[in-house]
Amino acid sequence: MSTATVERPPAAEPARRGRRRLLGALSGIAQVWLLVLLVIAWELVTRAVDDEFFPPPSAILPALRDMWFSGPAGDLFLTEKARADFGPSFRNLFLGWGLAGVIGVAGGVLIGRSRALGHLVEPVLHFLRSVPPPTLIPFLLALLDLGTQMQVATIVFGVVWPVLLNTIDGVRSVDRLQLETARVFGITGWLRMRRVILPSAAPKIFAGLRVSLGFALILMVISELVGAGQGIGAHILLAQQAFEIPQMWGGIVLLGVLGCLFNLVFALVERRALAWHDNARRND
């Protein structure tokens, strides 16, 4: 049948797309310049003030490089200290975040798909979510000793909520027509979960995971500041106690950069995984 050729898929006009790309590039350049200007201002102000507690970036960056990034090229320029500091931090961060993600999604699916269970546990969830996670550190310390277990537990408890609540919301707000379509065509059970419910909830689940990643970084640092002895947070504390102010600032700057980097990588993964979502909405 050849009538299908009459119907043409909607295509964005190339002129408009070109202009959008140009605007995007311009705003990107503006963003970079603002950052450069701020760093220059930081340098000038700290030099003018000349305070030991506020070293200029020109003192922080060499300290940063000497501490962590002056290693052999074969080790990606990482120093011995870098591996000792980053290793435990990243392990705790991703272990905690990963566990929270798995628990959050699995629990969210269970609670979201069962009205009775949701009704039962929701007040408890809202209470637990409202407990500021760092307040649990003393309790977890008593329970689990200093170290990885306590740190991971802190992160998991602190960041599981956005994933859990967003998953509950996501699996509950699956389009009614999509569910009816699944029913009519006999798509049930695990197949329905995997092919209909989870993909439909994915945008909300991803949003929860993204918020969690930010929290996880914060909790990672806090748990290390409590006296873990290792990790980037511990380094900041030790540098401060040793009065190595540029080294302490180096840790702070590093954490800021890491936060941005994680966010960026996550955004890229999210955009790939949810390409259908953006496109489907744009063409609506």
Which stretches of the chain bind another protein, using CB under 8 A?
1-4, 6-10, 175, 177-178, 180-181, 183-188, 191, 195-196, 199-200, 202, 276-277, 279-280, 283-284
Q: Which is nearer to another protein, 133 or 208 (CB)?
A: 208
CA dist., res. 97 & res. 264, Å (int): 16
Comparing CB distances to another protein, the nearer of 5 and 130 is 5
Q: How far is the CB of 183 from another protein (least distance, A)?
A: 5
Give the nearer residue to another protein in terms of CB position, either 119 or 271.
271
Q: How far is the CB of 272 from another protein (least distance, A)?
A: 12
Sequence-distant (≥ 6) Cβ neighbours of residue 201 within 8 angstroms:
112, 167, 170, 171, 173, 174
Q: Which is nearer to another protein, 126 or 195 (CB)?
A: 195
Shortest CB 282 distance to another protein, Å? 8
Shortest Cβ distance from residue 182 to another protein (Å)?
9
Q: Cβ of residue 181: shortest distance to another protein, in angstroms?
A: 5
Closer residue to another protein (CB): 131 or 191? 191
